[in-house]
Every structure is written in structure tokens, then in C-alpha cells.
Amino acid sequence: MAHGLVDVRILQREYLLAISRAVTAELDLQDVLRIILRAAVELVAGKAGMIALHHPELDSVRVAAVYGIPAQLVDHFAPLLHDIPQGDANEQEAELTRRLQLVARRSNLGFTQMVRLPMMSGGETIGLIYVFLSGTPYHLPKDAALLLSGFAEQAAIAVKNARLYEQVNKEKQRLDAIIQQNADGVMILDQSLRITVFNRALSRMVGLAPEEAIGKLHENVFTWLSLKSDMDLHEALANGWPLPGAAHLYVEGDLQRPFQEHLETADGKRVSLGITYAPLMDGDGRMTDIIANVRDLTRYREEEALQKTFISVVSHELKTPVSIIKGYAGTLRRQDANWSPEIIQDSLAVIEEEADNLTDLIDSLLEVSRLQAGTFNLEVSEDVQLNRVVENTARKFGNQSDKHTITVQFASEFPPIWGDERRLGQVLNNLLSNAIKYSPEGGEIVIRGEVHPQHVTVSVRDSGIGIPDHEQHRIFQKFSRLDNALSRKTEGTGLGLFLCKAIIEAHNGRIWFHKNPDGPGTTFTFSLPRN
């Protein structure tokens, strides 16, 4: 028996060493469980083994690893996981024996004996190790049982460490996912201002892939063309940032993008960013990292510029008809003039025309305000004859321009469609007005109507100046006008195409444009459902 005790102690030391290695070298929970289980089975010359871990959040014990037990038979071992009723040691032993016999019958694995080792750490139950034996009853010496308890304690430490590592790893993955899925740009810099984290949103902003940015110095990626702030990050650090009570640093400006093939901005070279830098301090008050939250202000700056343009244009557009109306009215009121009936009629016609222009402008502004307030509604008619609306619009504009030839080409038997006839007339007015304004040299304007199984399309093709590539992305935005010499001479508020898009989409249709493939100019097309 002494020889057996020595063997067990030798084995115990070897397996304790194996567990110690698992604690220090292996933190994957499943690998740790596999090492523990194999060691326990071999330690008592068992046939199979099982580890059940306690889950405090679920208040339950579940099988976490098996050795020598077919997967389809694991459910048969459930009775062993239930709590043992309170009683003396003999009663508990008898209950375990009864349960083992039940398991042996169900699984048909021939187990006759079981060693059950609780895994405890700091008074906390981590789980249970089960080793199953068969054949001749195996009697553990008293000293060996004590050593096995030590083995179970080492196993508990290994499992606890692996679980902590798993928990930390899951939390890291969760935080990484939050950073990567964040709509704002997120970047982390180390003490030397090298980029260690660079999320996808920031990658899209600056046109640099995360793997290209990570490891680079901050100054090599963020090269400012102009700053709206007093200083950038490097100047702030040189001036003693972070300061007590003012830890956050906000920097705003226009950035030079590193790689032009990724560019999406209007001028193709810069992007407006606002960056908030927050220092991460250690216990001694030293800065270890800098976390930066980055927002793309490009669209905001474009919108800001467009609104300034809008205020300027609208004030001019409102002032012009008012000035003309006032001028003609003042002239007609002169007491010292005796105007002929023809002059009076011509003057009144001009006043009426300018009043109509003023009404159209006010209507456009009201339509935009309704859209923004969500009160934009259609006055629907079920049988709008779109071909007749087009013909009337073409006739009206044809009488206003001698330079342009307006041709209408509609499919025969063009079907009536569901819609708001007045607003669809607005769309055609805007498209045809733009076609004339932006083809100052004249030429042919073709309005084409086509019938498809599920929808109809109407297109307006001009031979004008076209739309530059860098302005195409904002052509349907409110207050948007082409930035060229012709646009600056041409009347307009930049609301026409914005309203066209809103009206067509309210009809469950869509509107788009393309360059003419066989000549100068642009074709605008909208589609409307037939039913």
C-alpha cells in the first residue's frame, strides 16, 4: 500500500505541475478544461471524466467538458449535476452511488465507481470534476485523497483565470465592435502619437485603410490645409496640454487627404473635420494614450455655404420683381405724364408678370417649408394626362425663346397616371426652364415619353453646358446651384430640382440625370408608376 501511495504522490506532483503550466501558459478555457480532465482521469486510472462548471448568473451547473464519454450520451449524466440532499456523509455517498448506477444503466458504459472533486477557489464553487472507473473497486489512500483535493484547487485556479481571460477578451471584442461600428471616426494614439486604433468610419473620412493608418504618426495622416481652431494637437502638447480642468482639446479644420483615389469631396482634395482629443491618464497623472473622436463636417460646411448663397440669391430674386413692380407703378402714377393706353397696358402686363414671378418664388419657398415640416401633401387625380401637361408646358416655353426648338416625342396611347397634375406641371416647368437657362446658345430640347409594363418615363434632353462631375452629388440638394459664370448671371434660387425630386418621390417615382453620350448637354428623366 505504501508503494501505491508513493506512486499516487508522484503522479500528483506531475499533474499538479501540468496544471500549473496550464495556469501560466494556457488561458483558453476549453484547453484548460481538457488538460485538467485528462490529468484527473489518468491520476486515478479512470476510464472517463467530466467537468461541470457553476454559472452564478444562471444559478445552475452545466457540463463544460467530457473525456471518454460519447457526445450523444452526455445528457444521461444529468442526475449527477443535481444538488445532493443534506445529510451525513454515508447518506450522501449512498445517494451518489444510486445516481451513478442510474447513469451507468442509461449510458451502458459499465461505470462502477466515481470520484467527485469540488473545484473551490476563495470560498467560491467553480465547478466539479467527475472521474468514472469500471471493474475492480478502487480504494484511494487517505493521503492521496488530500492530494487530490489540492489538485482540484489548482484546477479551480486555472479555470477561474481562463474564465477571467475569456470575460476580458469578450469585453475587448465588444468594445472593438462598438468602435468599428461607430458612425463617428474613432482613433487612439499612444504616447509617441502613433495611431494604434483607426476605425472604419474614420477610414472613409480620410481615404486611408485602417491597416495603412495604424502605426503611422498622427502628423503624417492629419496634415491640415487650414485650421479654424487656435492650435492643432502638436501645438497644444507643446503648450502644456492637457491642462487641469480643460482636458479635452477640440481641433477643427480642412484636412489634406493622403490618397486621392478615395476622395468624395467636391474639390477632390480636402475634407472638413472636427476632432475632440481626450487624454487617458494613469494613476500618477501621466498621459498614456489619447482617444480622438472625429466628425466629418464637410457636408455641414457645404450646407452652410449653400445657405449663405441662398440668402444672397433669394434676397436678389425677391428684390428684382419688387423693384420692377414699384418702378412701373411709380411711373404710371406720375401726375405730369399723359400715358397712352398702349403704354399703360404694356406697363400693367409687366407688373402682372413680375407679380407672377414673385408668387412662384414665394410658392417654392412655402413648398420647401412644408417639406421640412412634414406637411407636404398631394392633391391626387386618378387620370392625369401627362402627355397633355407636357404639350402645354412645351407650348408655353416655346413662345418665350427664339433660340430653342422644343420637340415632344411621346409614345402612342400614353396611359393616364395617378398623381397631382399641378405639381407634376411644376416638375416639367422646372426641368424645361433649366434646359433653356443652361443652354444659352440655343439648340434642340427634346421631351420624350415612354411606356413600360410597370411605369412610364418622361425625359428632358438639352444641348447645354452639362453638369461638372464634382457638382453632381449635390444637384438635387436645396439651395444648390452650379458654381460657374453662367449660373451667377442666371436667375434662380437653387430650389427647383430639390422640389422636383420631392414631388416625384411623393408619387412613388424617382428622378435621375446623365450626360448625353452622343453630344453636349444633360438628360433629366423621371419615372412614375402606372398604377
**Beta-carbon count within 10 A of 446 CB:** 17
- When pLDDT is cut at 50, 70 and 90, the band that residue 381 belongs to is confident
**Is pLDDT larger for residue 262 or for residue 115?**
115
pLDDT at 487: 46
Same domain (yes/no): 113, 38: yes
pLDDT for res 21: 66
Burial state string for 116-154 with b = 16 or more CB within 10 A and e = fewer than 16: ebebbbeeeebbbbbbbbeeeeeebeeebeebbeebbbb
Full residue range of the structural domain in which residue 424 is found: 381-529
Q: What percent of the chain has pLDDT over 90?
A: 24
End-to-end distance of the chain based on CA atoms, in angstroms? 95
Q: How far apart are CA 463 and CA 436, in angstroms?
A: 9
* pLDDT interval class at 334 (50, 70, 90): confident
Same-domain check for residues 101 and 189: no
CA distance 425 to 421: 6
Minimal CA–CA distance to 157: which of 12, 19, 65? 19
Give me the CATH number covering residue 225: 3.30.450.20
Q: Given 268, 296, 324, which residue is the final one in a domain?
A: 296
Cell numbers found for residue 11: 503522479
pLDDT at position 524, please? 95
Sign of CA dihedral 106, 107, 108, 110: negative
Residues 270 and 292 in one domain: yes
CATH number at residue 327: 1.10.287.130
* One domain for residues 143 and 51: yes
Q: Which three cell numbers stand for residue 383?
A: 387620370
Q: Does the model's pTM come out above 0.95?
A: no
Three cell numbers, residue 157: 485556479
Contacts of 107 (CB under 8 A, 6+ apart): 69, 73, 76, 77
- Same domain assignment for residues 524 and 405: yes
Whether 266 shows a pLDDT value over 60: the answer reads no
Contact 412, 420 (CB under 8 A): no
Q: Predicted confidence band at 461 (pLDDT cuts at 50, 70, 90)?
A: very high
Same structural domain for residues 195 and 242? yes
Does 392 lie in the same domain as 338? no
Do 367 and 280 lie in one domain? The reply is: no
- Is there a single domain that holds both residue 430 and residue 470? yes
Give the confidence band of 10 by pLDDT, cuts at 50, 70, 90: low
Q: Would you state the pLDDT for residue 492?
A: 57
Q: Indicate if 135 and 267 belong to the same structural domain.
A: no
In SS3 terms, 172-212 reads as HHHHHHHHHHCCCEEEEECCCCEEEEECHHHHHHHCCCHHH
Instruction: List the CATH number of the domain containing 392.
Output: 3.30.565.10
Among 266, 296, 326, identify where a domain stops.
296
Instruction: Tell me, yes or no, whether 316 and 418 share the same domain.
Output: no
Count of domains observed in the chain: 4
Q: 421-437 vs 386-398: helix axis angle to the nearest 10? A: 40
Q: Which pLDDT does position 486 carry in this prediction?
A: 41
pLDDT of residue 412: 85
The whole-number average pLDDT for the span 15-32 is: 68
Residue where one domain finishes, among candidates 153, 174, 195: 174
> 250 - beta bridge partners?
276
Q: Which residues pair with 295 in a beta bridge?
A: 274
E-assigned strand segments in 342-490: 381-384, 404-410, 417-419, 443-451, 455-461
* Closest-CA residue to 478 (of 367, 376, 318): 367
Nearest by Cα to 260 from 182, 206, 211:
206
Q: Determine which helix (DSSP H) or strand (DSSP E) holds 276, and give its type and residue range.
A: strand 270-281
Question: pLDDT tens digits, residue range 25-80?
Answer: 667 788 888 888 888 888 777 889 999 998 877 778 889 899 999 999 999 999 99
Q: How far apart are CA 393 and CA 421, in angstroms?
A: 12
pLDDT band at 337, cuts 50/70/90? confident
**3-class DSSP state for residue 217?**
strand
- Examine the pLDDT at 502 and tell me if it is beyond 70: yes
Report the CATH number at residue 153. Answer: 3.30.450.40
More confident residue, 114 or 459: 459
Q: How much is the pLDDT for 138?
A: 60
- pLDDT for 24 beyond 70: no
The pLDDT-based confidence of 471 (bands split at 50, 70, 90) is: confident
Whether 59 and 15 map to the same domain: the answer is yes
Q: Each residue of 216-242: pLDDT tens digit?
A: 999 998 988 888 888 899 998 988 888
Interacting residues of 38 by C-beta distance below 8 A, sequence separation 6+: 49, 67
The mean predicted confidence, pLDDT, of the chain is: 82
d(CA 260, CA 17): 59
Contact criterion met (CB below 8 Å) for 291 and 307? no
